[in-house]
Structure 1
Protein backbone atom coordinates (compact mmCIF):
# COMPACT_ATOMS: atom_id res chain seq x y z
CA UNK A 1 0.00 0.00 0.00
CA UNK A 2 2.84 2.39 0.82
CA UNK A 3 4.44 1.66 -2.55
CA UNK A 4 1.09 2.32 -4.28
CA UNK A 5 0.70 5.68 -2.52
CA UNK A 6 4.15 6.77 -3.66
CA UNK A 7 3.49 5.71 -7.25
CA UNK A 8 0.23 7.67 -7.26
CA UNK A 9 1.66 10.78 -5.58
CA UNK A 10 4.97 11.11 -7.44
CA UNK A 11 3.45 12.68 -10.58
CA UNK A 12 1.52 15.17 -8.42
CA UNK A 13 4.66 16.20 -6.55
CA UNK A 14 6.45 16.65 -9.86
CA UNK A 15 3.80 19.04 -11.18
CA UNK A 16 3.55 21.76 -8.58
CA UNK A 17 3.97 20.70 -4.95
CA UNK A 18 7.69 21.18 -4.56
CA UNK A 19 7.58 23.72 -1.71
CA UNK A 20 5.21 24.25 1.21
CA UNK A 21 5.21 26.54 4.27
CA UNK A 22 5.65 25.23 7.80
CA UNK A 23 5.47 27.50 10.85
CA UNK A 24 5.75 31.09 9.67
CA UNK A 25 4.95 34.79 10.05
CA UNK A 26 4.34 36.77 6.86
CA UNK A 27 3.42 40.39 6.14
CA UNK A 28 2.51 42.28 2.97
CA UNK A 29 2.34 46.09 2.69
CA UNK A 30 0.52 47.73 -0.24
CA UNK A 31 0.69 51.53 0.02
CA UNK A 32 0.08 54.67 -2.05
CA UNK A 33 2.36 55.44 -4.99
CA UNK A 34 2.90 51.71 -5.58
CA UNK A 35 4.99 51.34 -2.44
CA UNK A 36 5.34 47.72 -1.49
CA UNK A 37 6.98 45.44 1.09
CA UNK A 38 6.78 41.71 1.76
CA UNK A 39 8.31 39.52 4.47
CA UNK A 40 8.28 35.82 5.25
CA UNK A 41 10.04 34.35 8.27
CA UNK A 42 9.87 30.71 9.30
CA UNK A 43 9.96 27.28 7.75
CA UNK A 44 9.81 26.19 4.14
CA UNK A 45 9.67 22.50 3.35
CA UNK A 46 11.05 21.00 0.19
CA UNK A 47 9.11 17.76 -0.09
CA UNK A 48 11.00 14.49 0.25
CA UNK A 49 12.15 14.26 -3.35
CA UNK A 50 15.39 12.57 -2.32
CA UNK A 51 13.38 9.75 -0.81
CA UNK A 52 11.20 9.55 -3.92
CA UNK A 53 14.28 9.58 -6.11
CA UNK A 54 15.80 6.64 -4.27
CA UNK A 55 12.57 4.72 -4.62
CA UNK A 56 12.32 5.65 -8.28
CA UNK A 57 15.83 4.30 -8.83
CA UNK A 58 14.74 0.98 -7.43
CA UNK A 59 16.58 0.93 -4.13
CA UNK A 60 13.40 0.01 -2.27
CA UNK A 61 11.45 -1.74 -5.02
CA UNK A 62 11.44 -5.17 -3.45
CA UNK A 63 8.83 -7.75 -4.35
CA UNK A 64 6.17 -8.17 -1.69
CA UNK A 65 3.08 -10.26 -2.30
CA UNK A 66 -0.15 -8.75 -1.02
CA UNK A 67 -3.40 -10.67 -0.63
CA UNK A 68 -6.71 -9.59 0.87
CA UNK A 69 -9.94 -11.24 1.95
CA UNK A 70 -13.45 -10.15 1.00
CA UNK A 71 -13.35 -7.46 3.71
CA UNK A 72 -10.06 -6.07 2.31
CA UNK A 73 -8.13 -7.26 5.33
CA UNK A 74 -4.61 -8.55 4.69
CA UNK A 75 -4.34 -12.32 4.68
CA UNK A 76 -1.64 -14.87 3.92
CA UNK A 77 -1.19 -15.58 0.22
CA UNK A 78 -1.53 -19.07 -1.21
CA UNK A 79 1.33 -20.64 -3.14
CA UNK A 80 -0.54 -20.07 -6.41
CA UNK A 81 -1.10 -16.39 -5.60
CA UNK A 82 2.56 -15.93 -4.69
CA UNK A 83 3.63 -17.52 -7.95
CA UNK A 84 1.20 -15.40 -9.98
CA UNK A 85 2.24 -12.13 -8.36
CA UNK A 86 5.94 -12.98 -8.69
CA UNK A 87 5.48 -13.70 -12.41
CA UNK A 88 3.71 -10.37 -12.91
CA UNK A 89 6.42 -8.53 -10.94
CA UNK A 90 9.17 -10.04 -13.08
CA UNK A 91 7.28 -9.30 -16.30
CA UNK A 92 6.99 -5.63 -15.37
CA UNK A 93 10.66 -5.22 -14.40
CA UNK A 94 11.75 -3.36 -17.56
CA UNK A 95 8.74 -1.06 -17.40
CA UNK A 96 9.60 -0.21 -13.77
CA UNK A 97 13.19 0.55 -14.71
CA UNK A 98 12.10 2.82 -17.58
CA UNK A 99 9.65 4.63 -15.32
CA UNK A 100 12.34 5.01 -12.65
CA UNK A 101 14.79 6.54 -15.12
CA UNK A 102 12.16 8.97 -16.40
CA UNK A 103 11.06 10.05 -12.91
CA UNK A 104 14.64 10.45 -11.70
CA UNK A 105 15.35 12.74 -14.67
CA UNK A 106 12.16 14.72 -14.02
CA UNK A 107 13.17 15.21 -10.41
CA UNK A 108 16.63 16.41 -11.42
CA UNK A 109 15.17 18.92 -13.91
CA UNK A 110 12.63 20.08 -11.32
CA UNK A 111 15.48 20.90 -8.93
CA UNK A 112 17.43 22.88 -11.53
CA UNK A 113 19.91 20.10 -12.37
CA UNK A 114 20.57 19.32 -8.71
CA UNK A 115 20.83 15.62 -7.96
CA UNK A 116 18.36 14.98 -5.10
CA UNK A 117 20.44 11.97 -4.03
CA UNK A 118 23.55 14.10 -3.52
CA UNK A 119 24.21 14.59 0.23
CA UNK A 120 25.16 18.19 -0.57
CA UNK A 121 21.87 18.89 -2.42
CA UNK A 122 20.31 20.80 0.49
CA UNK A 123 23.40 23.01 0.83
CA UNK A 124 23.35 23.73 -2.91
CA UNK A 125 19.66 24.66 -2.77
CA UNK A 126 20.31 26.96 0.21
CA UNK A 127 23.23 28.59 -1.62
CA UNK A 128 21.07 29.23 -4.69
CA UNK A 129 18.36 30.80 -2.56
CA UNK A 130 20.83 33.11 -0.82
CA UNK A 131 22.16 34.31 -4.19
CA UNK A 132 18.74 35.76 -4.94
CA UNK A 133 17.81 39.19 -3.63
CA UNK A 134 15.51 39.06 -0.61
CA UNK A 135 16.68 35.82 1.00
CA UNK A 136 18.37 37.24 4.07
CA UNK A 137 18.73 33.93 5.91
CA UNK A 138 18.57 30.35 4.69
CA UNK A 139 19.65 27.42 6.84
CA UNK A 140 18.88 23.74 6.39
CA UNK A 141 17.31 22.12 9.46
CA UNK A 142 17.02 18.60 8.08
CA UNK A 143 14.20 16.33 6.91
CA UNK A 144 13.54 18.66 3.99
CA UNK A 145 13.03 21.75 6.19
CA UNK A 146 14.71 25.13 5.67
CA UNK A 147 14.60 27.98 8.19
CA UNK A 148 14.42 31.22 6.19
CA UNK A 149 13.99 34.96 6.40
CA UNK A 150 12.88 36.76 3.25
CA UNK A 151 12.26 40.51 2.86
CA UNK A 152 11.81 42.81 -0.14
CA UNK A 153 10.50 46.33 -0.57
CA UNK A 154 10.30 48.94 -3.26
CA UNK A 155 7.91 50.06 -5.99
CA UNK A 156 5.44 47.49 -7.25
CA UNK A 157 5.14 48.07 -11.01
CA UNK A 158 4.37 44.46 -11.94
CA UNK A 159 2.87 41.29 -10.50
CA UNK A 160 4.67 39.67 -7.55
CA UNK A 161 4.90 36.00 -6.60
CA UNK A 162 6.59 34.34 -3.63
CA UNK A 163 8.59 32.16 -3.64
CA UNK A 164 10.53 31.90 -6.88
CA UNK A 165 13.74 29.88 -6.99
CA UNK A 166 16.25 30.36 -9.78
CA UNK A 167 16.43 27.37 -12.10
CA UNK A 168 13.74 25.41 -10.26
CA UNK A 169 10.35 24.54 -11.69
CA UNK A 170 7.03 23.63 -10.17
CA UNK A 171 6.94 25.82 -7.06
CA UNK A 172 3.32 26.64 -6.24
CA UNK A 173 3.03 30.27 -5.04
CA UNK A 174 2.55 30.93 -1.35
CA UNK A 175 1.44 34.49 -2.16
CA UNK A 176 0.62 36.26 -5.43
CA UNK A 177 -0.11 39.94 -6.04
CA UNK A 178 -1.74 40.82 -9.36
CA UNK A 179 -2.08 44.40 -10.62
CA UNK A 180 -5.12 45.46 -12.63
CA UNK A 181 -5.38 48.35 -15.10
CA UNK A 182 -8.10 50.09 -13.07
CA UNK A 183 -5.91 50.59 -10.00
CA UNK A 184 -7.13 47.48 -8.23
CA UNK A 185 -4.76 44.93 -6.69
CA UNK A 186 -5.72 41.28 -6.17
CA UNK A 187 -3.95 39.37 -3.39
CA UNK A 188 -4.16 35.58 -3.10
CA UNK A 189 -2.28 33.27 -0.75
CA UNK A 190 -2.99 29.68 -1.89
CA UNK A 191 0.07 28.41 -0.04
CA UNK A 192 -1.23 29.65 3.32
CA UNK A 193 -3.91 26.99 3.49
CA UNK A 194 -3.60 23.37 4.53
CA UNK A 195 -6.98 21.64 4.50
CA UNK A 196 -6.27 18.66 2.27
CA UNK A 197 -9.87 18.04 1.23
CA UNK A 198 -10.19 21.59 -0.13
CA UNK A 199 -6.69 22.21 -1.43
CA UNK A 200 -5.15 19.69 -3.85
CA UNK A 201 -1.74 21.27 -3.29
CA UNK A 202 -1.70 19.91 0.25
CA UNK A 203 -3.95 16.94 -0.41
CA UNK A 204 -1.40 15.13 -2.56
CA UNK A 205 1.56 16.51 -0.64
CA UNK A 206 0.23 15.41 2.75
CA UNK A 207 -0.59 11.91 1.48
CA UNK A 208 2.89 11.60 0.06
CA UNK A 209 4.52 12.82 3.26
CA UNK A 210 2.53 10.33 5.30
CA UNK A 211 3.47 7.57 2.87
CA UNK A 212 7.16 8.51 3.08
CA UNK A 213 7.24 9.09 6.83
CA UNK A 214 9.28 6.55 8.75
CA UNK A 215 9.52 6.26 12.54
CA UNK A 216 12.67 7.60 14.18
CA UNK A 217 14.71 5.77 16.81
CA UNK A 218 12.01 6.41 19.41
CA UNK A 219 9.36 4.90 17.16
CA UNK A 220 7.68 8.25 16.42
CA UNK A 221 6.95 9.31 12.84
CA UNK A 222 8.35 12.66 11.63
CA UNK A 223 6.18 15.76 11.93
CA UNK A 224 3.89 16.24 8.94
CA UNK A 225 4.59 19.86 8.02
CA UNK A 226 1.56 22.00 7.20
CA UNK A 227 1.12 25.79 7.10
CA UNK A 228 0.75 27.27 10.56
CA UNK A 229 1.16 30.97 11.29
CA UNK A 230 -0.14 34.46 10.53
CA UNK A 231 -0.44 36.50 7.36
CA UNK A 232 -1.00 40.26 7.70
CA UNK A 233 -1.90 42.63 4.88
CA UNK A 234 -1.38 46.35 5.59
CA UNK A 235 -2.71 48.85 3.08
CA UNK A 236 -3.47 52.54 2.59
CA UNK A 237 -5.87 51.66 -0.22
CA UNK A 238 -9.58 50.89 -0.08
CA UNK A 239 -10.37 47.30 0.88
CA UNK A 240 -13.07 46.17 -1.54
CA UNK A 241 -13.18 42.51 -0.54
CA UNK A 242 -11.49 40.10 1.86
CA UNK A 243 -12.19 36.80 3.62
CA UNK A 244 -10.78 37.47 7.08
CA UNK A 245 -12.87 36.53 10.12
CA UNK A 246 -12.73 39.99 11.73
CA UNK A 247 -12.41 42.35 8.75
CA UNK A 248 -10.07 45.35 8.59
CA UNK A 249 -8.57 46.92 11.70
CA UNK A 250 -7.09 50.45 12.03
CA UNK A 251 -3.37 50.69 11.35
CA UNK A 252 -0.85 53.55 11.41
CA UNK A 253 -0.50 53.20 7.62
CA UNK A 254 -4.20 52.76 6.93
CA UNK A 255 -5.91 49.42 7.61
CA UNK A 256 -4.75 45.89 8.32
CA UNK A 257 -6.18 42.48 7.54
CA UNK A 258 -4.93 39.45 9.46
CA UNK A 259 -5.40 35.76 8.83
CA UNK A 260 -4.49 33.05 11.33
CA UNK A 261 -3.42 29.99 9.38
CA UNK A 262 -3.85 26.48 10.74
CA UNK A 263 -5.98 23.32 10.56
CA UNK A 264 -9.16 25.35 11.16
CA UNK A 265 -8.52 27.74 8.25
CA UNK A 266 -11.55 27.48 5.95
CA UNK A 267 -10.21 29.26 2.84
CA UNK A 268 -6.89 30.54 1.52
CA UNK A 269 -6.45 34.28 2.22
CA UNK A 270 -7.65 36.63 -0.51
CA UNK A 271 -8.31 40.38 -0.78
CA UNK A 272 -9.05 43.03 -3.38
CA UNK A 273 -7.59 46.51 -2.82
CA UNK A 274 -8.30 49.70 -4.79
CA UNK A 275 -6.02 52.73 -5.22
CA UNK A 276 -7.09 56.02 -6.77
CA UNK A 277 -5.26 56.84 -10.00
Structure 2
Protein backbone atom coordinates (compact mmCIF):
# COMPACT_ATOMS: atom_id res chain seq x y z
CA UNK A 1 0.00 0.00 0.00
CA UNK A 2 1.28 3.49 -0.78
CA UNK A 3 2.37 5.40 2.32
CA UNK A 4 0.25 8.28 3.59
CA UNK A 5 2.96 10.78 2.56
CA UNK A 6 3.20 9.33 -0.93
CA UNK A 7 -0.58 9.20 -1.19
CA UNK A 8 -0.85 12.85 -0.18
CA UNK A 9 1.57 13.96 -2.90
CA UNK A 10 0.44 11.49 -5.57
CA UNK A 11 -3.11 12.81 -5.64
CA UNK A 12 -2.28 16.46 -6.45
CA UNK A 13 0.43 15.29 -8.82
CA UNK A 14 -2.08 13.16 -10.70
CA UNK A 15 -4.55 16.05 -10.87
CA UNK A 16 -1.96 18.56 -12.10
CA UNK A 17 -0.48 16.11 -14.60
CA UNK A 18 -3.89 15.21 -16.02
CA UNK A 19 -4.94 18.85 -16.24
CA UNK A 20 -1.72 19.79 -18.00
CA UNK A 21 -1.96 16.90 -20.45
CA UNK A 22 -5.53 17.67 -21.41
CA UNK A 23 -4.81 21.39 -21.91
CA UNK A 24 -1.99 20.74 -24.41
CA UNK A 25 0.85 21.89 -22.12
CA UNK A 26 2.67 18.59 -22.44
CA UNK A 27 6.10 19.75 -23.69
CA UNK A 28 9.06 21.27 -21.90
CA UNK A 29 12.69 22.00 -22.82
CA UNK A 30 15.44 20.41 -20.76
CA UNK A 31 19.06 21.38 -21.44
CA UNK A 32 19.32 23.15 -24.79
CA UNK A 33 20.94 25.68 -27.12
CA UNK A 34 18.60 27.67 -29.37
CA UNK A 35 19.57 30.18 -32.06
CA UNK A 36 17.56 32.38 -34.41
CA UNK A 37 19.26 34.36 -37.18
CA UNK A 38 16.96 36.91 -38.81
CA UNK A 39 18.25 39.12 -41.63
CA UNK A 40 16.58 42.38 -42.64
CA UNK A 41 15.75 40.79 -46.01
CA UNK A 42 13.46 38.35 -44.16
CA UNK A 43 15.78 35.36 -44.56
CA UNK A 44 16.02 33.43 -41.31
CA UNK A 45 17.36 30.25 -39.80
CA UNK A 46 16.41 28.60 -36.52
CA UNK A 47 18.07 25.80 -34.59
CA UNK A 48 17.33 23.91 -31.38
CA UNK A 49 19.78 21.36 -30.02
CA UNK A 50 19.11 19.58 -26.77
CA UNK A 51 16.35 17.96 -24.78
CA UNK A 52 12.58 17.98 -25.15
CA UNK A 53 10.45 16.42 -22.42
CA UNK A 54 7.10 14.84 -23.33
CA UNK A 55 4.91 14.48 -20.25
CA UNK A 56 2.63 11.78 -21.69
CA UNK A 57 5.53 9.31 -21.93
CA UNK A 58 7.05 10.03 -18.51
CA UNK A 59 6.80 8.49 -15.07
CA UNK A 60 4.96 11.65 -14.07
CA UNK A 61 2.02 10.45 -16.17
CA UNK A 62 2.35 7.00 -14.56
CA UNK A 63 2.00 8.66 -11.18
CA UNK A 64 -1.65 9.30 -11.94
CA UNK A 65 -2.15 5.56 -12.36
CA UNK A 66 -0.33 4.88 -9.09
CA UNK A 67 -2.57 7.35 -7.31
CA UNK A 68 -5.61 5.56 -8.75
CA UNK A 69 -4.26 2.15 -7.74
CA UNK A 70 -3.71 3.41 -4.19
CA UNK A 71 -7.49 3.69 -3.97
CA UNK A 72 -7.98 0.15 -5.23
CA UNK A 73 -8.92 -1.39 -1.88
CA UNK A 74 -12.21 -0.84 -0.10
CA UNK A 75 -11.71 0.71 3.33
CA UNK A 76 -14.78 0.95 5.54
CA UNK A 77 -15.57 4.36 6.97
CA UNK A 78 -16.37 4.92 10.63
CA UNK A 79 -19.97 4.95 11.81
CA UNK A 80 -21.40 7.16 14.57
CA UNK A 81 -24.49 7.46 16.75
CA UNK A 82 -26.66 10.55 16.74
CA UNK A 83 -24.50 11.99 19.51
CA UNK A 84 -21.38 11.42 17.33
CA UNK A 85 -20.16 8.50 19.41
CA UNK A 86 -18.21 6.02 17.33
CA UNK A 87 -19.88 2.61 16.99
CA UNK A 88 -19.52 -0.56 14.89
CA UNK A 89 -21.10 -0.29 11.43
CA UNK A 90 -24.06 -2.51 10.66
CA UNK A 91 -23.93 -4.97 7.75
CA UNK A 92 -26.37 -2.76 5.86
CA UNK A 93 -24.18 0.31 6.36
CA UNK A 94 -21.06 -1.55 5.26
CA UNK A 95 -22.90 -2.84 2.20
CA UNK A 96 -23.99 0.70 1.30
CA UNK A 97 -20.45 2.01 1.76
CA UNK A 98 -19.07 -0.68 -0.52
CA UNK A 99 -21.79 -0.05 -3.12
CA UNK A 100 -20.92 3.65 -3.17
CA UNK A 101 -17.19 2.84 -3.37
CA UNK A 102 -17.74 0.51 -6.34
CA UNK A 103 -19.87 3.15 -8.05
CA UNK A 104 -17.18 5.81 -7.54
CA UNK A 105 -14.45 3.45 -8.76
CA UNK A 106 -16.43 2.60 -11.88
CA UNK A 107 -16.94 6.30 -12.62
CA UNK A 108 -13.22 6.96 -12.06
CA UNK A 109 -12.28 4.18 -14.49
CA UNK A 110 -14.64 5.59 -17.12
CA UNK A 111 -13.11 9.04 -16.66
CA UNK A 112 -9.61 7.57 -16.87
CA UNK A 113 -10.49 5.85 -20.15
CA UNK A 114 -11.88 9.13 -21.50
CA UNK A 115 -8.68 10.95 -20.53
CA UNK A 116 -6.52 8.25 -22.14
CA UNK A 117 -8.45 8.58 -25.40
CA UNK A 118 -8.06 12.37 -25.28
CA UNK A 119 -4.31 12.10 -24.71
CA UNK A 120 -4.00 9.59 -27.56
CA UNK A 121 -5.82 12.04 -29.85
CA UNK A 122 -3.40 14.79 -28.82
CA UNK A 123 -0.51 12.48 -29.70
CA UNK A 124 -1.80 11.96 -33.23
CA UNK A 125 -3.40 8.62 -32.41
CA UNK A 126 -0.37 7.20 -30.59
CA UNK A 127 -1.23 5.32 -27.39
CA UNK A 128 1.22 6.50 -24.70
CA UNK A 129 0.80 3.14 -22.94
CA UNK A 130 2.27 1.36 -25.98
CA UNK A 131 5.94 0.44 -25.35
CA UNK A 132 6.68 1.41 -28.96
CA UNK A 133 5.03 4.84 -28.67
CA UNK A 134 8.25 6.80 -28.11
CA UNK A 135 10.05 5.25 -31.08
CA UNK A 136 6.97 5.78 -33.23
CA UNK A 137 6.93 9.47 -32.33
CA UNK A 138 10.66 9.77 -32.99
CA UNK A 139 10.23 8.25 -36.46
CA UNK A 140 7.34 10.60 -37.23
CA UNK A 141 9.38 13.65 -36.25
CA UNK A 142 12.38 12.62 -38.32
CA UNK A 143 10.11 12.59 -41.38
CA UNK A 144 9.40 16.29 -40.86
CA UNK A 145 11.69 18.87 -42.41
CA UNK A 146 14.15 20.34 -39.94
CA UNK A 147 14.29 17.44 -37.48
CA UNK A 148 17.79 16.10 -38.15
CA UNK A 149 18.00 13.92 -35.04
CA UNK A 150 15.37 12.58 -32.63
CA UNK A 151 16.69 10.06 -30.10
CA UNK A 152 14.53 8.73 -27.27
CA UNK A 153 16.43 8.54 -23.98
CA UNK A 154 13.62 7.27 -21.75
CA UNK A 155 11.18 8.63 -19.15
CA UNK A 156 9.64 11.03 -21.67
CA UNK A 157 12.96 12.61 -22.65
CA UNK A 158 14.14 13.08 -26.26
CA UNK A 159 17.50 14.37 -27.48
CA UNK A 160 16.88 16.36 -30.65
CA UNK A 161 18.65 18.44 -33.26
CA UNK A 162 16.45 20.79 -35.29
CA UNK A 163 17.55 23.25 -37.98
CA UNK A 164 15.55 25.06 -40.64
CA UNK A 165 16.14 27.92 -43.09
CA UNK A 166 13.42 29.90 -44.83
CA UNK A 167 11.98 33.32 -45.61
CA UNK A 168 9.85 34.97 -42.95
CA UNK A 169 6.83 35.69 -45.15
CA UNK A 170 4.55 34.15 -42.52
CA UNK A 171 4.54 33.36 -38.81
CA UNK A 172 6.98 30.75 -37.48
CA UNK A 173 6.45 28.51 -34.44
CA UNK A 174 8.64 25.87 -32.80
CA UNK A 175 8.00 23.07 -32.10
CA UNK A 176 5.22 21.65 -34.24
CA UNK A 177 4.47 17.93 -34.50
CA UNK A 178 2.56 16.53 -37.46
CA UNK A 179 -0.85 15.29 -36.36
CA UNK A 180 -0.67 17.05 -32.98
CA UNK A 181 -2.93 19.94 -32.00
CA UNK A 182 -1.03 23.09 -31.12
CA UNK A 183 0.74 22.58 -27.80
CA UNK A 184 2.81 24.94 -25.72
CA UNK A 185 5.20 27.00 -27.85
CA UNK A 186 8.94 27.30 -27.20
CA UNK A 187 9.66 30.08 -29.75
CA UNK A 188 7.46 32.09 -32.11
CA UNK A 189 8.13 34.80 -34.68
CA UNK A 190 5.05 36.77 -35.71
CA UNK A 191 5.15 39.04 -38.76
CA UNK A 192 3.28 42.30 -38.31
CA UNK A 193 2.24 44.90 -40.84
CA UNK A 194 5.10 47.21 -41.74
CA UNK A 195 7.54 44.27 -41.79
CA UNK A 196 7.96 44.27 -38.02
CA UNK A 197 8.64 40.91 -36.39
CA UNK A 198 7.82 40.13 -32.78
CA UNK A 199 9.80 37.21 -31.37
CA UNK A 200 8.62 35.52 -28.18
CA UNK A 201 9.90 32.46 -26.34
CA UNK A 202 7.14 31.59 -23.85
CA UNK A 203 8.47 28.06 -23.46
CA UNK A 204 11.74 29.38 -22.02
CA UNK A 205 10.34 30.81 -18.77
CA UNK A 206 9.55 28.76 -15.67
CA UNK A 207 7.83 31.27 -13.44
CA UNK A 208 5.56 33.14 -15.82
CA UNK A 209 2.30 32.10 -17.45
CA UNK A 210 3.78 31.29 -20.86
CA UNK A 211 4.98 27.80 -19.99
CA UNK A 212 2.48 26.02 -17.71
CA UNK A 213 4.37 22.77 -18.26
CA UNK A 214 7.55 24.23 -16.73
CA UNK A 215 5.51 25.64 -13.86
CA UNK A 216 4.06 22.19 -13.24
CA UNK A 217 7.51 20.60 -13.25
CA UNK A 218 8.86 23.20 -10.84
CA UNK A 219 5.98 22.54 -8.46
CA UNK A 220 6.37 18.79 -8.76
CA UNK A 221 10.09 19.05 -8.02
CA UNK A 222 9.23 20.74 -4.74
CA UNK A 223 6.74 18.01 -3.89
CA UNK A 224 9.21 15.22 -4.60
CA UNK A 225 11.89 16.97 -2.54
CA UNK A 226 9.45 17.01 0.37
CA UNK A 227 8.81 13.30 -0.07
CA UNK A 228 12.53 12.63 0.37
CA UNK A 229 13.45 8.95 0.19
CA UNK A 230 9.95 7.50 0.27
CA UNK A 231 10.56 4.24 -1.56
CA UNK A 232 6.92 3.34 -2.06
CA UNK A 233 6.42 5.79 -4.92
CA UNK A 234 8.69 5.71 -7.97
CA UNK A 235 9.23 9.42 -8.49
CA UNK A 236 10.33 10.59 -11.95
CA UNK A 237 13.56 12.33 -12.83
CA UNK A 238 12.29 15.76 -13.82
CA UNK A 239 14.22 17.67 -16.50
CA UNK A 240 16.00 20.84 -15.45
CA UNK A 241 15.33 23.60 -17.99
CA UNK A 242 18.69 25.24 -18.66
CA UNK A 243 20.06 26.75 -21.84
CA UNK A 244 20.64 29.77 -24.03
CA UNK A 245 18.52 31.56 -26.61
CA UNK A 246 20.53 33.71 -29.02
CA UNK A 247 19.16 35.98 -31.74
CA UNK A 248 21.41 37.53 -34.40
CA UNK A 249 20.25 40.11 -36.92
CA UNK A 250 21.44 42.91 -39.20
CA UNK A 251 18.04 44.59 -38.91
CA UNK A 252 17.01 47.33 -36.49
CA UNK A 253 16.18 46.04 -33.01
CA UNK A 254 13.22 48.09 -31.78
CA UNK A 255 12.81 46.46 -28.36
CA UNK A 256 14.05 43.54 -26.29
CA UNK A 257 14.15 42.34 -22.68
CA UNK A 258 17.73 41.07 -22.40
CA UNK A 259 19.87 42.21 -19.48
CA UNK A 260 22.74 43.47 -21.65
CA UNK A 261 20.86 44.72 -24.72
CA UNK A 262 22.12 44.33 -28.31
CA UNK A 263 25.79 43.40 -28.64
CA UNK A 264 28.06 43.79 -31.71
CA UNK A 265 28.49 40.51 -33.59
CA UNK A 266 30.47 41.04 -36.80
CA UNK A 267 28.14 42.72 -39.27
CA UNK A 268 25.18 41.78 -37.06
CA UNK A 269 23.91 42.50 -33.59
CA UNK A 270 23.09 39.76 -31.12
CA UNK A 271 20.68 39.31 -28.23
CA UNK A 272 21.25 36.55 -25.69
CA UNK A 273 19.21 35.13 -22.82
CA UNK A 274 20.44 32.64 -20.22
CA UNK A 275 17.51 30.38 -19.34
CA UNK A 276 16.99 28.33 -16.17
CA UNK A 277 14.22 27.35 -13.76
CA UNK A 278 14.43 30.80 -12.11
CA UNK A 279 13.76 32.68 -15.36
CA UNK A 280 10.69 34.84 -14.75
CA UNK A 281 10.15 36.74 -18.01
CA UNK A 282 9.94 34.99 -21.36
CA UNK A 283 12.44 36.32 -23.93
CA UNK A 284 11.01 38.96 -26.28
CA UNK A 285 12.36 41.05 -29.15
CA UNK A 286 10.85 43.40 -31.70
CA UNK A 287 12.76 43.70 -34.99
CA UNK A 288 12.21 45.98 -38.00
CA UNK A 289 12.90 44.27 -41.33
CA UNK A 290 13.53 46.16 -44.57
CA UNK A 291 10.37 47.84 -45.81
TM-score greater than 0.5 by the shorter chain: yes
Please say if residues 57 and 155 of structure 2, whose CA atoms lie closer than 8 Å, have aligned partners that are also in contact.
no
Give the one of 6, 25, 42 matched to 1:34. Answer: 42
Aligned equivalents of 1:194, 1:103: Cα separation in 2: 26
Give 3-state SS (helix, strand or coil) of 1:165's partner: coil
- CA offset at residue 22 of structure 1? 0.2
- CA offset at residue 223 of structure 1? 3.1
- CA offset at residue 4 of structure 1? 3.9
- Equivalence for 1:114: 126
Aligned equivalents of 1:187, 1:103: Cα separation in 2: 34
Length-normalised TM-score, structure 1: 0.83
After TM superposition, the structure 1 stretch with the greater mean CA deviation from structure 2, 91-100 or 234-243, is 91-100
- Equivalence for 1:241: 255
Give the one of 184, 198, 202 matched to 1:172. Answer: 184
Aligned equivalents of 1:66, 1:250: Cα separation in 2: 71
Aligned equivalents of 1:150, 1:123: Cα separation in 2: 17
Is 1:230 aligned to 2:255, yes or no? no
Aligned equivalents of 2:211, 2:76: Cα separation in 1: 32
Aligned equivalents of 1:66, 1:37: Cα separation in 2: 63
- Equivalence for 1:181: 193
Length-normalised TM-score, structure 2: 0.79
Aligned residue pairs, count: 266
- CA offset at residue 116 of structure 1? 0.6
- CA offset at residue 171 of structure 1? 2.0
Unaligned runs of 5+ residues in structure 1 are: 68-77
- CA offset at residue 13 of structure 1? 1.9
Which of the two has greater helix per residue?
2
After TM superposition, the structure 1 stretch with the greater mean CA deviation from structure 2, 54-63 or 99-108, is 54-63
Superposed CA deviations along residues 88-136 of structure 1, whole A, max 9, x for unmatched, are 4323122112101101100110111111111111100100010000011
Please say if residues 17 and 205 of structure 1, whose CA atoms lie closer than 8 Å, have aligned partners that are also in contact.
no
Please say if residues 5 and 207 of structure 1, whose CA atoms lie closer than 8 Å, have aligned partners that are also in contact.
no
Is 1:43 aligned to 2:51, yes or no? yes
Indicate the structure (1 or 2) with the bigger Cα radius of gyration: 2
Counterparts in 2 of 1:146 and 1:212: CA distance versus 1, 3 Å: farther
- Equivalence for 1:18: 26
- Equivalence for 2:3: none
Cα RMSD of the aligned pairs, angstroms, is 3.4
Aligned equivalents of 1:266, 1:66: Cα separation in 2: 47
Please say if residues 210 and 224 of structure 1, whose CA atoms lie closer than 8 Å, have aligned partners that are also in contact.
no
Superposed CA deviations along residues 123-174 of structure 1, whole A, max 9, x for unmatched, are 0010001000001111011111000000001212110000000012242110
- Equivalence for 2:82: none
- Equivalence for 2:206: 194
